[in-house]
Amino acid sequence: MNFIEELRWRGMLQDYTPGIEEFLNTHQPVRGYIGFDPTATSLHVGNLATIMLLVHFQRSGHKPYVLIGGATGMIGDPSGKSVERQMLDKATIERNQQAIADQLRRFLDFDSGENKAEMINNYTWLKDLSLLEFLRQVGKHITVNYMIAKESVKKRLESGISFTEFSYQLLQGYDFYYLFKHHNVRLQMGGADQWGNITTGTELIRRKLAVERGLAPLEDNFSEEVFALTTPLLTKSDGTKFGKSESGNIWLDPRLTSPYQFYQFWLNTTDQDAPRLVRVFTLFDKEKIQALEAEHAAAPHLRILQKALAEDVTIRVHGREAYQKAVQASAILFGNHPTEEINRIDEATLLAVFEGVPQIAIPRQALQNGIVDFLSIVTDYRIFPSKSEARKMLQGGGVSINKMKVTETSQLNNFSLLQNRYLIVQKGKKNYYLVRLLD
């Protein structure tokens, strides 16, 4: 199956410039790229969708280029942003680009075949481009009228946009031109929000080529030479943003989002969203997905689709071992385990399960305190910030210790300690704290 067809049935095709399908079919391998700006120390699941574009691109025989936006990250993309961004300092950007480059290397084959992936950083060519050169080589070809017609800029004309961010599309456009010239890159891909930036690139290439070939722009037939393609921005059926949990972004970095939380994120996908997400984030083929959906429909409570999705994505991002631990932790935290059974877990496993969960150490004699004090002042206000809040939650039935509901009148002494020194405190359904007693 060719690249475009693959994206189409997966619902990953938003927009593309004409002629692309034929070009991809008749040229093999075609070189295509996606840019990632180092604006954070890690990529998140939103980026994963565009990474999958590159994965499919490579699997269908083409040659993916991963562009690290070392230079563009210094400028700030106004797309989808309602206010000017904070500029990042160079040290931060350097750290970030190192981190996201390491992450990106895991998803593509950079080692073998004529279509092995390449990684490049636009800082290497943009750093030496002088202002004058830029204005003459790039700025001259694109009108301000054209630039402010772009959605990303138009939205900001009222509230304000700096010249720096306004220029962003030109830099990105120049990247495309540069890659076309020096690496014969023909296609730029990205999320739907990047359409404007990408087409600035195709437009710039068209105009520059016209000049280089001594033609008037309208006589050209260069539109057949470079292409743009975007994938829809993912949304959730309830209208909220995809890729966020109550605790914020879902990151690929295990230090920011533990593999357990990552696994849970996918596992908690609603029935409504799961079919779309399986198509985007796994490489399962059509038959396999249809089979999974049928299985799921037959026994929805088993959440076949969610489990398959969570397994596939967690393994791709964090590896099999981390996935297995996440499953094990989930089984313990959400399974119907009576206290005795939890008590049988050995200490090493217990600590592994609660990795990434806040751990609070208190003196053993502090157990003499009442439950409200225990949940607030004794645990240094880390479980509840005040006695009132602890009490409110207790009254609402939202607190468990060792998986047993507690009330204001519960006696701490009645709880058997796990491994003779741990208590599992649960606030609501999904917030855990491991309290360790010090002798």
CB-based contact 284:292 (threshold 8 Å): yes
423, HSE (Cβ side, Cα atoms, 13 Å):
28
Tell me if 329 sits within 8 A of 260, measured CB to CB. yes
| Stretch of 29-37, 85-93, 248-256, 379-387 lying at the interface with RNA (CB under 7 A) | 379-387
What does each C-alpha distance from 147 to 137, 161, 166, 179, 196 come to in angstroms?
16, 13, 8, 21, 9
The count of C-alpha atoms lying within 13 angstroms of the C-alpha of 233, restricted to the half-sphere facing its C-beta, is 11
Is 238 or 340 the residue whose CB approaches RNA more closely? 238
Q: Minimum distance between the CB of residue 405 and RNA, rounded to whole angstroms?
A: 7
Site residues for RNA, 36-55, by CB under 7 A, read: none
Taking CB under 7 A as the rule, does residue 382 contact RNA? no
What contacts 171, CB < 8 A, 6 or more positions away? Answer: 71, 72, 75, 122, 126
Judged by CB under 7 A, which of 89, 151, 271, 380 binds RNA?
A: 271
d(CA 104, CA 24): 24
| Binding of residue 314 to RNA (CB under 7 A) | no
Asked if 68 and 102 count as a contact pair (C-beta separation under 8 A), the reply is no
Pairing of strands 187-191, 31-36: parallel
Nearer to RNA, 80 or 300 (CB): 300
Evaluate whether 364 touches 438 at the Cβ level (below 8 Å): yes
* Phi, psi dihedrals of residue 32, rounded to the nearest 5°: -140, 155
The one-letter amino acid at 107 = F
Q: How far is the CB of 392 from RNA (least distance, A)?
A: 5
The binding track of 212-251 with respect to RNA, each residue x by CB under 7 A or -, is: --------------------------x-x-----x-----
Residue corresponding to tokens 């009222």 = 158
Q: What is the CA radius of gyration of the chain?
A: 26
Identified binder of RNA from the candidate list 74, 234, 372, 406, rule CB under 7 A: 372
Over the window 316 to 355, marking each residue x when it contacts RNA by CB under 7 A and - when it does not, the resulting string is --------------xx--x---------------------
Rounded CA-CA distance 391/354 in Å is: 25
DSSP helix/strand/coil, 68:
strand
Looking at 10-18, 60-68, 189-197, 297-305, which segment touches RNA (CB under 7 A)? 297-305
Q: Where would I find the H helices in 282-319? A: 286-298, 304-318
Rounded CA-CA distance 61/250 in Å is 30
The distance of closest approach from Cβ of residue 401 to RNA in the complex, given in angstroms and rounded to an integer, is 13
Stretch touching RNA by CB under 7 A, among 141-149, 208-216, 296-304, 346-354: 296-304
Question: Rounded distance, CA 71 to CA 171, Å?
Answer: 9
**Near RNA by CB under 7 A: residue from 127, 385, 411, 416:** 385
Confirm or reject binding of residue 392 to RNA (CB under 7 A).
yes
- Residue with Cβ nearer RNA (199 or 306): 306
CA 31 – CA 206 distance, rounded (Å): 18
Among 98, 184, 235, 268, binds RNA (CB under 7 A): 268
CB of 356 to RNA, least distance (A): 15
In the stretch 394-423, what mask flags binding to RNA with x, by CB under 7 A?
Answer: --xxx-------------------------
Closest to RNA by CB, 246 vs 340, is 246
Tell the smallest beta-carbon distance from residue 137 to RNA (Å). 39
Residues 6 or more apart in contact with residue 129 via CB below 8 angstroms:
137, 174
**How many residues of this chain bind RNA (CB under 7 A)?**
34
- Tell me how far, at minimum, the Cβ of 304 lies from RNA, in Å: 9
Quick check: 393 binds RNA (CB under 7 A)? Answer: yes
Which segment (54-62, 203-211, 282-290, 424-432) binds RNA by CB under 7 A? 424-432
Residue ranges binding RNA (CB under 7 A): 238, 240, 246, 264, 267-268, 270-272, 300-301, 303, 306, 330-331, 334, 372, 376, 385-389, 391-393, 396-398, 427-431
